[in-house]
Structure 1
Amino acid sequence: MKSSDTLAEDLRKSEARFKRANEIAQLGIAEVDLATQRMTLNPTFQEMCGAPAEISVETYAHAVHTEDRDRVMKAFEEAIADGAAWGDCYRFRRLSDGVMRWFHSSSEIEVKNGEAVSAFGIVRDITAETVASAQLELVNAELHHRVKNLFGMMQSMIRITSREMPGSEPFVDALAGRLQSLTAAHEVSMGTDRSTPVVLRQILEAILSPYDTAQNRVRISGASAAIPQIYVTPVGLLLHELATNAVKYGALRPGKGSLAIDVSTTEQSDLPPTVTVQWDETSSDCAGIGTKDRDPSFGTQLIDRLTQQMGATIAREWTDSGLRLRLTVAGVK
Structure 2
Amino acid sequence: MKNTVQALPIADAAVLDVPDRLPALGNATPEFFGPDADFDGIVTLAAGFVSAPVSVVSLFADQDQCFLARLGTSEIRAPLKRSFNASLMAHGGDALLVSDAGADPRFSDIETLGGAPDLLSYAGAPIMIDGRPVGSVFVGDVAARPDWPEDLLQRLEQLASLAASLIKLKEETRRRTLAAEAISRDEKRHALALDAANVASWLWDISTGLISGNDTFYRMFGVQPARPLSARKFFMTVHGADRKLAIGRLRRALASGKEYDGLFRTAKSGRWLLGRGRVHERDANGKPTVFLGINVDVTDAQIATDRTRLLLRELNHRVKNTLAMLQSLARQTLRQTSDPAAFMDAFAGRLQSLSEAHGLLSDHEWGVIRLKMLLEKQIAPYAIDFDQQVEIHKDEVQLGPDQAVGLGLVLHELATNARKYGAFSVPSGKVVITARVVAEEGQGVLNMTWHEMGGPPVAPASRRGFGSVLIERSLDKILGSSVHVEYLPQGVTAVIRLPL
TM-score range, shorter chain: 0.5 to 0.7
Change (3 A) 1:298 1:131: closer
**Displacement of 1:312 after TM fit?**
1.3
Q: Deviations over 1:272-307 (max 9, x none)?
A: 210022111111532xx232x557311111112224
Deviations 1:221-279 (A, max 9, x none): 311212332222222111111111111111000331011212110013x4321002211
Q: Relative to structure 1, is the Cα distance of residues 179 and 39 closer, same or farther in structure 2, using a 3 angstrom cutoff?
A: farther
1:100 corresponds, among 267, 281, 296, to 296
Q: Deviations over 1:26-58 (max 9, x none)?
A: x954457xxxxx58986357669xxxxxxxxxx
Matching residue of 1:131:
305
Q: Which residue of 2 aligns with 1:43?
A: 234
Q: Secondary structure at the match of 1:252?
A: helix
* Matching residue of 2:416: 244
Distance 2:236 2:375 in 1: 50
| Gapped regions of structure 2 (runs ≥ 5) | 1-219, 240-268, 277-291, 331-337
What letter is aligned with 2:381? Answer: P
Matched, 1:290 2:459: yes
Kept in 2, the 8 Å contact 1:178–1:237? The answer is: yes
Residue 53 of structure 1 corresponds to which residue in structure 2?
A: none
State the structure with more CA Rg. Answer: 2
Is it true that 1:305 corresponds to 2:473 in the alignment? yes
| Cα drift, residue 171 of structure 1 | 2.2
Identity of aligned residues (%): 22
Q: CA RMSD in A?
A: 4.1
Distance across 1 between alignment mates of 2:310 and 2:384? 37
Change (3 A) 1:141 1:304: closer
* C-alpha distance in structure 2 between counterparts of 1:29 and 1:320, whole Å: 72
Mapped contact 1:28–1:44 kept (Cα < 8 A):
no
The equivalent residue for 2:375 is 204
**Structure-1 separation of matches of 2:365 and 2:294:** 33
Q: Which has the higher contact order (CA 8 A, sep 6+)?
A: 1
Are the counterparts in 2 of residues 140 and 191 from structure 1 also a CA contact under 8 Å?
A: no
3-state SS in 2 of match to 1:243: helix
Unaligned residue ranges in structure 1 (runs of 5+): 1-26, 33-37, 49-87, 104-125, 159-165
Aligned to 1:81: none
CA 1:285/1:212 → structure 2, altered by over 3 Å: closer, same or farther?
closer
TM-score (norm 2): 0.37
Find the aligned partners of 1:142 and 1:328 in 2 and give their Cα distance.
26
Matches of 1:47 and 1:90 in 2, distance apart? 10
Distance 1:273 1:90, change over 3 A: same
Partners of 2:310 and 2:477 in 1: CA distance: 29
Query: Distance between the aligned counterparts of 1:211 and 1:295, measured in 2?
Result: 18
Alignment of 1:245-264 (within 5 A): 245-264=417-436
TM-score normalised by L of structure 1:
0.53
Distance in 1 between the 2:394 and 2:467 partners? Answer: 27
